[in-house]
Amino acid sequence: MSTATRTPPAPATDPAGEGPTIAVRHLLAQIGRYVFLCAVLGFFALPLLWLTTAPFDDTPTVTASLPQFTLDNFRALLDNPYALSSLRNSVYLAAGTAALVVTFAALAAYALSRVRVPGRDALLYGLLLLSSIVTGTATMVPLFELAFRLNLIDSRLGVILILSGGLLPAAIFILKDFMDSTPTSYEESARVFGASPLQIMRHIVVPLVRPGLATVGVWAVANVWGNFLVPFLLLRSPDKAPAAVIMYTLYTEGGQADLRLLSTFSLLYSLPVALMFVFVSSRYGFRFHGGIKR
């Protein structure tokens, strides 16, 4: 092992013949690297390409190709009774969950950051671990049972509550870091001037951790938007189903996936979230850690 710390002997200065070989090898390595990167890029870009071309194609297939341009697919989608209302349902569920998660996570993170509770970190890590189970497949049966007993089957509120419960621990975890990095002297200063805890929260803490709140809000929306299982199991009537569930129903009578409708709906389905990302990112900037720009 002692040889590991020793500097390896310097390579003998090569005679005139070896120089070009090294240059060629270097070039080949460079080419290899770019070929690899192109392959990876293509792997991720092709589905996106399909998403932007297929909706405008007369006869879309599973391959991406230059479309026979048409807007008929959109017209066909509008004829589907549930397509547009499902997007509205998705907005309800996402907005409701994001509002609940941001509000309660902010309050909880603030309290956890400022009050010394024995075993606080253990509690946080425990919740974080369990949260992946709560909204996961494993607990769907007891959750369904619970929602049934509480009369929350086929209710949007039920879906919002269960999704919020699943997202809260991670949201608290992220926001606590933001709260931790806010100097307590800001709050103490406000306290000496006579501000109440809620005033301090409203005037000082929330504006300071706004990037964190924005991050958690967007993250919650994106999570709800893509969640299929919970609304699929808890919502019975199709007019309450969100887009992720309705997409599952876009099949022809023969059980074949209707690629025209499916691709068009996929585009509409992904646009709101993408737009929200762009908007929030330009407005607040995303950060997953605390710290204050002064």
Partner 1 sequence: MSAITMRELTKVYPNGVRALDALDLEIADGEFFALLGPSGCGKTTLLRTIAGLEVASGGNVHIGGRNVTNLPPGKRDVAMVFQDYALFPHMTVQDNIAYPLRIKKMDRRSRGEKAAETADELGLTALLQRRPGQLSGGQQQRVALARAMACHPQVFLLDEPLSNLDARLRLEARTFLKRLQRELGVTTVFVTHDQAEALALADRIAVMEGGRIRQVGTPTEVFRRPANTFVAGFIGSTPMNLVDAEVHDGELAVAGTRLPVPDEARDRVSAGEKLVYGVRPEYLDYSPEPAPGALSGQVVVVENLGSFSLVSLDMPSGDAPATPGTSLQVVVPEGREPEPGDTGWVVPRPGRSLLYRDGELVSTAAPPAVPAARTGADAER
Of 158 and 211, which has the nearer Cβ to partner 1? 211
Question: Which pair of tokens denotes residue 139?
Answer: 């607990």
Closest distance of CB 180 from partner 1, Å: 16
Binding status of residue 1 toward partner 1 by CB under 8 A: no
**How does DSSP classify residue 205?**
I
Per-residue binding letters, 204-243, with partner 1 (x by CB under 8 A):
x--xx-----------------------------------
Region of residue 17 (phi > 0: left; psi between -120 and 50: alpha; otherwise: beta): alpha
Question: Is 189 an interacting residue with respect to partner 1 (CB under 8 A)?
Answer: yes
Q: Is 199 in the site for partner 1 (CB under 8 A)?
A: yes
**From 3-11, 92-100, 157-165, 181-189, span contacting partner 1 (CB under 8 A):** 181-189
Interface stretch with partner 1, choices 45-53, 143-151, 171-179, 185-193 (CB under 8 A): 185-193
Q: Which is nearer to partner 1, 73 or 182 (CB)?
A: 182
Q: How far apart are CA 72 and CA 140, in angstroms?
A: 39
Q: Which is nearer to partner 1, 156 or 191 (CB)?
A: 191
Helix 156-180 vs helix 140-149: angle between axes, to the nearest 10 degrees?
120
Q: Which stretch binds partner 1 (CB under 8 A): 64-72, 157-165, 194-202, 269-277?
A: 194-202
Neighbouring C-beta atoms of residue 145, cutoff 10 Å: 11
First-to-last alpha carbon distance for the chain, in angstroms, is 49
| DSSP per residue, 218-241 | HHHHHHHHH--HHHHHH--SGGG-
**Could you tell me if 158 and 152 are in contact, meaning their C-beta atoms sit under 8 angstroms apart?**
yes
Identify the residue among 2, 3, 13, 185 touching partner 1 (CB under 8 A).
185
Residue placing its CB nearer to partner 1 in the complex, 114 or 156: 114
Residue with Cβ nearer partner 1 (200 or 230): 200
Instruction: Specify burial of residue 105 (Cβ count, 10 A radius: 0-12, 13-18, 19+).
Output: buried
* Residue 190 token pair: 């406000």
Contacts with partner 1, residue ranges (CB under 8 A): 183, 185-186, 188-195, 199, 203-204, 207-208, 292-294
